[in-house]
Amino acid sequence: SLKIKSFQHDEKNSLVQDYYDLGARTTYNDAIVSLFHAVLDEPVFDILRTKEQLAYSIGIVHRELDNSHLTVIKVKCQEDKFSAKFVADRVRNFFINDMKVIFENLEDEKFQKIKEGKIRPLREPFQSFNSESYYNLGQISDGTYIFDEYEKQAVVLERITKQDLIDFYTRVFILERHRNLNIQIVGN
């Protein structure tokens, strides 16, 4: 955890960023992480921003760094309303406790629609020769050489069940005590 005061003396807002390591890039992890994010997008905003009004800006993004998947949640809040520490603790609690309930209560029909929404674009042809060539060049420059990566991910996604998603979450966030970096830039 890293906590520093804002260098801008008139800044009244704080920024909390949480980085969660979701594991190495593999075809399976690529597929399940994309599904993980698709399921979480709505509840992160709905619960933390809309219902709890924890902050005026909340975002969750997926990043790939050094062949690892990262989930990054960024929260901009008013320090005089909720302290950066309170926000950081609430976000961590959301990831450790609330998400399990979200995954368990996810209706099967909604889960299937989310899966189909992730599979469909993976099976669409490239829109142009340039996009296909950039994709292939990326495979070469990354050293992965998986030129049919999208199709392989689609096949894996078709097989992933809701229980697989719950098991992934449990393994990464509960059993393995996930690697997490929390950064707080505290307003004055």
Whole-angstrom CA distances from 105 to 56, 66, 83 are 27, 33, 30
User: What is the C-alpha separation between 65 and 68, in angstroms, rounded?
Assistant: 5
Mean pLDDT by 10 residues, the chain (188 residues): 88 91 92 95 91 90 88 91 92 89 94 96 94 92 87 96 94 80 90
Helices (H) and strands (E) in the chain, counts: 7, 5
- Distance in angstroms (rounded) separating the CA atoms of residues 27 and 23: 12
Those residues whose C-beta lies under 8 Å from the C-beta of residue 127, and which sit 6 or more positions away, are none
Residue 56: per-residue pLDDT: 84
Tell me, what's the pLDDT at 177? 67
